[in-house]
C-alpha cells in the first residue's frame, strides 16, 4: 500500500498569494500596533512567510491549541496548550490560521481574545473549506478557497507527517 502525494496548490502559487496578502495587510495596518498570532502547529510555515511579506512593524506571538474529541473532525472544544506571552490589550491582533474548516476553532479563539480587550481583531487564513462550515466566521484575509479534501504540506500535517512539504498537497492511497 503506497501513498501518492498530489500537489493541489504549488509553491509558486502560494508564494504569489502570500505576497499579495502581505501587501494588503501592510496597507491596512499602516502604523498600528500589529500583533500576528500564529496558531500552532499548522500555521508556522504560513506565518513565517506572511510575516516577511508584511512591510510594517509587528510582534509575533504563538498560540498552542488542541481540539478535542475527533478523528479528523473538529469538536469545537479547543484547549489552549500554550498561551500568548504578553497581553494584547489595546493592540491590533491578526490571527493567522492555516485552514478554516468547520470554523469552530476560529470562533472559539475570537471569543477568547475579545475578553482581553484588543483594539481590533481580524483573521487571516491561508485556506478555507466552505463545504464544511458549521459556524460562520469572518475571514478578513483569505489565501485560497478549496474543495473538501484533506490537505497536507506547507505546515499542515497528517499524523504529524508532511508538514515540511513545500506545496499544499493531497494524500492519495494507492495499491
Catalytically active residues, by annotation: 101
Residue 79 phi, psi dihedral angles, 5° rounding: -100, 135
Q: How far is the CB of 103 from ligand 5GP (least distance, A)?
A: 5
Stretch that binds ligand 5GP, among 7-15, 16-24, 54-62, 155-163 (CB under 6 A): 155-163
Residue with cell 471569543: 111
Between residues 15 and 66, which has the closer beta carbon with respect to ligand 5GP? 66
Q: In whole angstroms, give the CA distance from residue 55 to residue 34.
A: 11
Residue 33 phi, psi dihedral angles, 5° rounding: -90, 75
**Inter-CA distances, 90 with 15, 21, 29, 122, 123, Å:** 32, 24, 14, 14, 17
Between residues 31 and 159, which has the closer beta carbon with respect to ligand 5GP? 159
Residue 101 as a binder of ligand 5GP (CB under 6 A): the answer is yes
Stretch that binds ligand 5GP, among 11-19, 26-34, 83-91, 92-100 (CB under 6 A): 92-100
H-assigned helices in the chain: 11-29, 44-53, 104-114
Between residues 43 and 93, which has the closer beta carbon with respect to ligand 5GP? 43
Contact residues for ligand 5GP, defined by CB under 6 A:
42, 74, 97-105, 150-152, 156-158
Amino acid at each position: 500500500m503506497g501513498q501518492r502525494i498530489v500537489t493541489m496548490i504549488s509553491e509558486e502559487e502560494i508564494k504569489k498569494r502570500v505576497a499579495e496578502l502581505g501587501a494588503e495587510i501592510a496597507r491596512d495596518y499602516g502604523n498600528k500596533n500589529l500583533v500576528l498570532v500564529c496558531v500552532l502547529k499548522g500555521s508556522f510555515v504560513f506565518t513565517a512567510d506572511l510575516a516577511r511579506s508584511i512591510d510594517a512593524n509587528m510582534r509575533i506571538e504563538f498560540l498552542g491549541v488542541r481540539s478535542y474529541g475527533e478523528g479528523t473532525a473538529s469538536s469545537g472544544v479547543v484547549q489552549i496548550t500554550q498561551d500568548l506571552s504578553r497581553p494584547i490589550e489595546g493592540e491590533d491582533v491578526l490571527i493567522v490560521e492555516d485552514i478554516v474548516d468547520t470554523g469552530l476553532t476560529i470562533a472559539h479563539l475570537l471569543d477568547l481574545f475579545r475578553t482581553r480587550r484588543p483594539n481590533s481583531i481580524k483573521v487571516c487564513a491561508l485556506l478555507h473549506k466552505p463545504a464544511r462550515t458549521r459556524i460562520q466566521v469572518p475571514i478578513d484575509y483569505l489565501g485560497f478557497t478549496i474543495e473538501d479534501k484533506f490537505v497536507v504540506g506547507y505546515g499542515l500535517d497528517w499524523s504529524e507527517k508532511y508538514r515540511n512539504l513545500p506545496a499544499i498537497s493531497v494524500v492519495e492511497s494507492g495499491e
